[in-house]
Amino acid sequence: MTDLPRRSYPLVVPPPGGFEAAVRRGRSRRRRQAGGSTATALVLVGALAYSIVGHGAGVSSLDPANDTRIDRGHRRVGATASAAPRSQATPTGVPAGPGSQPVASGPRGTRQPALPSATVSTPATRHPQGPKVRAYAARAAVTRSDQANTSTSCPPTELGWCVSAGVTVSQDARPTYTFTYAVCRSVRASTAYLNFDRKDPLVDFKAVDEAHNDTVWTWSLGQPVKPGTNQVRVDPGNCSIWDVVWNGYDDFGDLPPAGTYHLTATSFANETLPPAQQTFDHV
């Protein structure tokens, strides 16, 4: 054997409790350190997964642009929702602007008082197709008579008829007006007939205010039409005359303005007859 030189080694002092106890303490310390690292790794992985799944990768839950952010129970509809305040409705007929008061401007739970509606008077209508806002006033009855016609100067129609209208004003304090409508045959014409598809009325009278071009009174308004047929014979040199008394008041019983008026008289006969007119003064 070869004799090797001896080396000097430091003196190792045994640890407290001996070497075996020191080995056990080292193993315990390593296990605790490994457990702490694993828990930290699990916390980091969970936080990353929550960030990806719950809010989307790369978006912070505190970012105002995050459309899924929850702020104390109030959920945003979307990232494009407008942040501008909602406009408040205003009462009907009140424009929003200076001096106007929106409905929601009062305390919560209060209601704005209703706006008073202005009373608008509806004027009476004199048109038969319009709404009847009032009942028509009563009319006097129309009467018919036959009268000889010796005149040959009235211009006849194509069928040989002569028509004319007349107005007679009474001398009373509140005058009345007798309207006349005459349908005549010239002494040079032949006998003819007027045919009607009704029993009554057969003719009509209208009083027109010339200054306002307003038909203030129409006899046929409010008059029932009696169904049936009717025929009136007019011989040569004779007239069939219809007349009615107008009290001077309009269709609804109001006094129209004074001035120049004209009477327009027409026939409901199947035969074509021109209207007859006569001017008069209404007082």
- Say what the pLDDT of residue 123 is: 44
Q: Which residues of the chain have pLDDT under 70?
A: 1-23, 26, 28, 30-133, 151-159
First to last CA, the chain: 169
* Class of the domain covering 143-282: mainly beta
Partners of 74 in the beta sheet?
71
Q: Which two tokens stand for residue 180?
A: 């006349």
pTM over the 0.85 mark: no
- Say what the pLDDT of residue 173 is: 92
- Say what the pLDDT of residue 146 is: 94
Instruction: Kindly list the domain boundaries of the chain, sorted by start residue.
Output: 16-66, 143-282
Cis previous bond, 256, omega within 30 = no
- Say what the pLDDT of residue 260 is: 98
